[in-house]
């Protein structure tokens, strides 16, 4: 076995080993939350922060482009939120359907706290939410995508986390609204589970926490200092997460759920993943200077943002390691040892998934399918990038499908 292939296996082993503790810690934290749910249906594992009195004003921003199928559903929920001190800013971003009419109707129906901004042409979500944030008057800015469904008490559960003066942003948990629509949406269920474990563990271990695009909250004063979202970012949530970290701000992750729609068509699913994966490496390239001042947070952010590249390397690494296990006995069996360790680590997520609910065993094959799909997509977008092919921000279309009970 050549030095190159052995090196690939070693790098993969080190990267997987580094990422195992957050998953394990996250699972333990998730398990504690589930046990607490038996006592309190709205439990999370935070330190039960006291309610804020008086309530800080919250500006809720909803970017809207061709969202006629879902935006009315969200707005009915937002105007019914039990949190009193709020404003809702809708950014209608050059829709071709009747989204503008729906947004205008809600602004007319609730003029005291619902505003509708209209752009004749769309320049993407980052510019839309930045324009709304500049007009926001709240102390806290919340961002919800139009397909999101939230509980009516979500702000009472989120805002107290800003009692900690060091917290500049809070990310809530995301769950899939349409998990049973088809096999493609079930892939998102797996993604929800894995991301939730990683984020819970990262929060507990004080590591870099990437924001997820919706069910996210910011101090408006911090957004002003950051000059809002990068209009050129493919994954504006990831990019602003890095800037928050580099400026020394704290981002918290809390198990307060919002539900979102997953793509049900393979083409839409792949395009969404293309944007996410390329967005990670775009953010890494933009902020490569953080390696000039290394610390535990910047190093962790870099190791997180190379995930799309490790997807591709991972397939090669596992293949090389398995080859070494079965084909190449040596006096110093480093490749055999690495291969066995990688096989064991590769079973961690399936084991945790089934442990969380034995019925999840049906999802185990999809974990490996998802990995192969993501690796192929990552390879494709980064080969295009190497040849100078630019990628633009694209919207993920929504249908309004729901396959789970929604209170």
pLDDT number for residue 51:
62
Sorting pLDDT into bands at 50, 70 and 90, what band is 9? confident
When the pLDDT of each residue in the chain is averaged and rounded to a whole number, the result is 89
CA separation for the pair 386, 375 (Å, rounded): 16
What is the pLDDT averaged over residues 334-343? 66
Summarised one tens digit per residue, pLDDT across range 151-172 is: 999 999 999 999 999 999 999 9
User: Token digits for 47?
Assistant: 């330190």
pLDDT score for 47 = 47
Does residue 234 fall inside a structural domain? yes
Angle, alpha carbons 379-291-392 (nearest 5°): 40
Q: What is the mean pLDDT of residues 165-189?
A: 95
- Tell me the pLDDT tens digit for each residue of 44-96: 665 455 566 679 999 999 999 999 999 999 999 999 999 999 999 999 999 99
96 located within any domain: yes
Q: Which residue has the tokens 């990628």?
A: 391
Tell me what the mean pLDDT of segment 257-283 comes to. 95
pLDDT of residue 313: 82
Question: What is the arithmetic mean of pLDDT over 8-32?
Answer: 90
Domain range for 138:
40-264
What is the distance between the alpha carbons of residues 307 and 282, in angstroms, rounded to a whole number? Answer: 12
Instruction: Tell whether the model's pLDDT for residue 361 goes beyond 60.
Output: yes
For residue 43, what pLDDT is reported? Answer: 61
Quote the pLDDT of residue 10. 78
> Is 194 a residue whose pLDDT tops 80?
yes
Burial of 362: CB neighbours in 10 Å, binned 0-12, 13-18, 19+: exposed
Residue 158: give its domain's CATH number.
3.90.550.10
Could you report how far apart the first and last alpha carbons of the chain are, in Å?
57
Query: Which of 239, 377, 368, 241 minimizes the C-alpha distance to 308?
Result: 377
Is 379 inside a domain boundary?
no
Taken in order 11, 14, 19, 24, the sign of the CA dihedral is positive
pLDDT tens digits along 295-329:
999 999 999 999 999 888 877 766 666 666 565 55
Q: Could you tell me if residue 22 is inside a domain?
A: no
Confirm whether 58 is domain-assigned.
yes
Identify whether 169 is part of a domain.
yes
Whether 348 is covered by a domain: the verdict is: no
pLDDT above 90 covers a percentage of the chain that reads 67
pLDDT at 323: 63
Instruction: Specify if 123 maps to a domain.
Output: yes
What pLDDT is attached to residue 368?
84
**CB neighbour list of residue 402: distance below 8 Å, 6 or more residues apart:** 177, 178, 261
pLDDT of amino acid 7: 77
Predicted model pTM: 0.92
- What is the mean pLDDT of the segment spanning 232-260? 97
Please list, residue by residue across 120-137, b when 16 or more beta carbons sit within 10 angstroms of its beta carbon and e when fewer do: eebebbbbbbbbbbeebe
Domain count, the chain: 1
């Amino acid at each position: 076995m050549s030095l190159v292939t052995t090196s690939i296996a070693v790098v993969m082993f080190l990267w997987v080993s580094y990422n195992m503790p957050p998953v394990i810690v996250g699972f333990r934290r998730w398990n504690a939350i589930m046990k607490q749910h038996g006592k309190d249906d709205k439990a999370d594992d935070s330190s039960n922060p006291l309610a804020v009195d008086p309530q800080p004003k919250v500006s809720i921003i909803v970017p809207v482009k061709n969202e006629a199928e879902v935006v009315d559903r969200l707005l009915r929920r937002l105007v019914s939120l039990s949190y009193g001190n709020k404003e809702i800013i809708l950014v209608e971003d050059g829709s071709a359907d009747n989204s503008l009419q729906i947004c205008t109707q809600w602004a007319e129906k609730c003029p005291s706290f619902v505003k509708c901004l209209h752009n004749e042409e769309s320049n993407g979500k980052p510019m839309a939410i930045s324009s709304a944030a500049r007009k926001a008057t709240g102390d806290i800015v919340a961002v919800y995508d139009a397909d999101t469904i939230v509980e009516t008490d979500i702000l009472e559960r989120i805002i107290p986390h800003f009692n900690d003066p060091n917290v500049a942003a809070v990310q809530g948990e995301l769950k899939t609204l349409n998990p049973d629509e088809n096999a493609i949406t079930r892939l998102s269920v797996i993604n929800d589970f894995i991301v939730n474990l990683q984020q819970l563990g990262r929060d507990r271990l004080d590591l870099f926490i990437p924001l997820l695009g919706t069910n996210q909250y910011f101090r408006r004063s911090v957004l002003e200092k950051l000059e809002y979202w990068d209009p050129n970012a493919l994954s504006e949530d990831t990019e602003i997460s890095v800037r928050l970290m580099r400026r020394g701000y704290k981002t918290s992750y809390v198990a307060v759920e919002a539900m979102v729609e997953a793509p049900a068509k393979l083409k839409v699913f792949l395009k969404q993943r293309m944007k996410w994966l390329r967005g990670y490496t775009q953010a890494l390239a933009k902020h490569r200077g953080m390696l000039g001042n290394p610390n535990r947070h910047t190093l962790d952010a870099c190791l997180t943002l190379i995930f799309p590249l490790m997807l591709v390397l991972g397939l090669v690494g596992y293949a090389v390691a398995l080859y070494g296990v079965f084909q190449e006995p040596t006096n110093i069996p480093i490749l055999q040892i690495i291969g066995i360790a990688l096989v064991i680590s590769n079973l961690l997520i399936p084991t945790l998934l089934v442990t969380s609910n034995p019925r999840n065993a049906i999802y185990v094959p999809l974990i490996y399918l998802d990995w192969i799909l993501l690796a192929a997509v990552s390879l494709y977008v980064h080969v295009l990038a190497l040849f100078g092919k630019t990628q633009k921000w694209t919207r993920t279309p929504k249908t309004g499908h729901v396959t789970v009970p929604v209170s």
